[in-house]
Amino acid sequence: MFHRKFKLALSIFISILWNSVLAEWNTRDYIRREHSLTKPYQGSGMSVPYWDFLGSTIVTTNYVRLTPDLQSKSGAIWNTAPCYTRNWELQVQFKVHGRGKDLFGDGFAIWYVRDRMQPGPVFGSKDYFYGLAIILDTYSNHNGAHNHQHPYISAMVNNGTMHYDHDRDGTHTQLSGCEAKFRNYNHDTHISITYRDDTLTVSTDLEGKNAWKECLRVENVLLPTGYYFGASATTGDLSDNHDIVAIKMFELDLLDTQNRDEDRSQIIPSAASFEAPRERIEDQKPAMSGIKTFLYMMCIAIVIIVIVVLGIMWYQKRQEHSRKRLY
Ligand SMILES: *[C@@H]1O[C@H](CO)[C@@H](O)[C@H](O)[C@H]1NC(C)=O
Ligand SMILES: [Ca+2]
């Protein structure tokens, strides 16, 4: 009798645990292949599935090089599939490196924009763009005093009317930004761009510690669905290798407050606030990768099961004991 109840309880317990593990697994790791670029890049032919190339871009087995460490180069990669996901996270593994110790440039940009495959002056892509640019600027064009050091990461949202002003490194149109040394590392360097519940968050993992550090967070950012992801880079008098190693796009769950049927395709890109004074928050990577979460949950599950089983055994022993004493 007792055994059957125990087995039932245990199986219910395990199924609840298992479902929560799976739910966790799904929310964190729903990678969208059609918006991602991972090794091996090449499909059956010479082309790379879901991505088009522009300018100086070359594909090797280990990286996609937007520009080599040579002057006056410009290159880009563009996703061929528009993004209809409302909440997403784009993780980009990149490598910016070159011979220059003090002089290098110009940097690269990661895009979520309406118009793809259009070369231009903003780090190799179109000015007066529609959508979002995350700019990783390695060279300070500003002659006067800057309020920040370079390399510098900034976010800009444009509705097609604003010009990116290189002479001021875009400081007048940026939503927010942070200093970030991301050049010439031997370890992997990553940037994460999350757009969730109309909040844009950019974090970096530059120290090889496998931990995200928040760079900027802006609320009330409106971006439509149906735009394209891309990355572009440019060199001028100064140069660097700008390499993209991997792009991973994760679909994030809809929030309870979000309506699945809302049409987001006609939204004009906007951001309620421009740069406001803020504290730099440095925190640990908020979410572990899917596999890690999974293993972690598994370990917890095993520990809990062992404790429960031991507890039951102990309880049974005690029952037997007291029964013996009764008779
Ligand atoms: C575009 O953005 C500019 C600058 O923020 C703003 O003044 C203008 O009203 C916007 N236009 C549209 C159509 O939203
Ligand atoms: Ca610059």
Domain assignment present for residue 251? The answer is: yes
Q: Which helix (H) or strand (E) holds 89?
A: strand 88-97
CB of 322 shorter than 6 A to ligand 1: no
pTM, two decimal places: 0.78
Domain assignment present for residue 202? The answer is: yes
Q: How far is the CA of 193 from the centre of ligand 2 (A)?
A: 20
Both 146 and 49 in one domain: the answer is yes
Domain assignment present for residue 184? The answer is: yes
CB of 161 shorter than 6 A to ligand 1: yes
Both 5 and 152 in one domain: the answer is no
Q: How far is the CA of 159 from the centre of ligand 1 (A)?
A: 6
Q: How far is the CA of 285 from the centre of ligand 1 (A)?
A: 35
Both 14 and 134 in one domain: the answer is no
Q: How far is the CA of 105 from the centre of ligand 2 (A)?
A: 8
Q: Which ligand is nearest to the CA of 158?
A: 1
Which structural domain, as residue segments, surrounds residue 137? Answer: 32-271
CB of 173 shorter than 6 A to ligand 1: no
Both 149 and 2 in one domain: the answer is no
Q: How far is the CA of 162 from the centre of ligand 1 (A)?
A: 9
Domain boundary among 245, 271, 297: 271
**What is the phi-psi region of residue 244: left when phi exceeds 0, alpha when psi lies from -120 to 50, beta otherwise?**
beta
Dihedral sign for Cα atoms in the order 100, 77, 152, 29: negative
How many alpha carbons fall within 13 Å on the CB side of residue 104?
25
Both 21 and 126 in one domain: the answer is no
Both 18 and 96 in one domain: the answer is no
Both 38 and 9 in one domain: the answer is no
pLDDT at 326: 56
Query: What is the pLDDT tens value at each position of the chain, 327 positions in all?
Result: 556 666 666 666 666 556 555 554 444 568 999 999 999 998 767 789 999 999 999 999 999 999 999 999 999 999 999 999 999 999 999 999 999 999 999 999 999 999 999 999 999 999 999 999 999 999 999 876 667 899 999 999 999 999 999 999 999 999 999 999 999 999 999 999 999 999 999 999 999 999 999 999 999 999 999 999 999 999 999 999 999 999 999 999 999 999 989 999 999 999 986 654 444 444 445 555 667 778 888 989 999 999 999 988 998 888 877 766 555
CB of 266 shorter than 6 A to ligand 1: no
Both 83 and 196 in one domain: the answer is yes
| Cβ(108)–Cβ(189) below 8 Å | no
Q: How far is the CA of 12 from the centre of ligand 1 (A)?
A: 56
Residue from 156, 158, 159, 220 whose mutation best tests the ligand 1 pocket (most atoms within 8 A of CB): 159
Domain assignment present for residue 115? The answer is: yes
Residue closest via CA to ligand 1's atom 11 equals 159
Q: How far is the CA of 290 from the centre of ligand 1 (A)?
A: 39
**Calpha distance 291→176 (Å, rounded):** 32
Cβ neighbours for 133, distance < 8 A, ≥ 6 positions apart = 109, 110, 111, 113, 122, 155, 156, 157, 158, 164
Domain assignment present for residue 77? The answer is: yes
For residue 301, with 0-12 CB atoms within 10 Å meaning exposed, 13-18 middle and 19 or more buried, which class applies?
A: middle
| Cβ(246)–Cβ(39) below 8 Å | yes
pLDDT at 54: 97
Both 263 and 142 in one domain: the answer is yes
Q: Which ligand is nearest to the CA of 271?
A: 1
pLDDT at 279: 42
Domain assignment present for residue 112? The answer is: yes
Domain assignment present for residue 46? The answer is: yes
pLDDT at 126: 97
What is the SS3 assignment for 216-249? EEECCEECCCCEEEEEEEECCCCCCEEEEEEEEE
CB of 268 shorter than 6 A to ligand 1: yes
Number of the ligand 1 atom closest to the C-alpha atom of 268: 14
**CATH at 159:** 2.60.120.200
Residue closest via CA to ligand 1's atom 10 equals 159
Both 7 and 85 in one domain: the answer is no
Looking at the 3D structure of the chain, how many domains does it have? Answer: 2
Both 2 and 64 in one domain: the answer is no
Residue closest via CA to ligand 1's atom 3 equals 161
**Calpha distance 274→146 (Å, rounded):** 18
Q: How far is the CA of 54 from the centre of ligand 2 (A)?
A: 21
Domain assignment present for residue 64? The answer is: yes
Both 163 and 183 in one domain: the answer is yes
Q: Which ligand is nearest to the CA of 172?
A: 1
CB of 272 shorter than 6 A to ligand 1: no
Q: Which ligand is nearest to the CA of 154?
A: 2
